[in-house]
Amino acid sequence: MVTSTFSEILNTEATTLIAQFPDLATGLGKACAILREQQLFMEESGREAMVQSSNRQQWYTVNGHCTCKAAQYYDKPCCHRLALRLYQRVADALLAEQERWEPDDANPALQPPATTPALPADAILHIQGKPFVRFEGLLALAHERGLVELTTTLVQCRATLAVCQATARFQDGRTFTDIGDASPDNVAKHLRPHFVRMSATRASARALGRALNISAVAVEELGSEEVEA
């Protein structure tokens, strides 16, 4: 059984929502563009996302509400909120298809490839019984898997918050992008003067984790209290 792609399901879900809510057609069209341009990044909670503005100059936190101006002045949900809802619908549909897919045990060629990475023991740190991965371990494994470029871009910076975007590119042409944020309040005390740099490290760790199919949170993403503990 061949499963549908993200783009195919996105088109289907968007068409369904537009038919149900024609007054939101314009916003849903913008939401589709946001997802196609990879301008939405889910947080670990699965209920919150960071969404980039259309001019790529600002990031909005979306969690049932949005911090953009349109959300403040209009009663209709903004395109950033619609993008999050649309993403959740597409993700649910993809998960349902994966659960229905039955591999053919008789044909090894049809078996999904093994994606469990081999991280060395010293790359894993256990805190209160939970595993966390060190950034240097992610980077070393990524180089083994063909990493050729890891770039970070500062997309937002003010005295209380820095947001960076990182892109990892591999020899086979694959690219993975994610974002990371940091503030003086959510990093260790000795790193507070360098919270902008921590934002870049967190973005890089998330991009590498996405590329290597590692779900464990990077140690560098932990908050100040967890780090100090």
Per DSSP, the three-state class of 188 is coil
Q: Name the β-bridge partners of 127.
A: 130
Q: Name the least confident of 13-27, 124-138, 143-157.
A: 124-138
Provide long-range contacts, Cβ within 8 A and 24+ apart, for 20-23: 23/76
Q: How many CB atoms lie within 10 A of CB 27?
A: 22
Helix axes 6-20, 25-36, angle to 10 degrees: 170
Task: Find the distance separating the first CA and the last CA of the chain, reported in whole Å.
Answer: 48
In the chain, where are the structural domains located? 6-100, 115-228
**Phi, psi at residue 124, to the nearest 5°?**
-110, 135
Predicted confidence (pLDDT) per residue in 2-59, tens digit: 445 778 888 888 899 999 999 999 999 999 998 888 888 877 666 788 888 877 778 8
Instruction: Name the maximum alpha-carbon separation found in the chain.
Output: 59
State which of 49-53, 67-71, 204-208, 212-216 shows the largest mean pLDDT: 204-208
Which pLDDT tens digit goes with each residue over 74-90? 888 999 999 999 888 88
Give the DSSP letter of residue 66: B
- State both tokens at 173: 């042409």
CB 186 within 8 A of CB 167: no
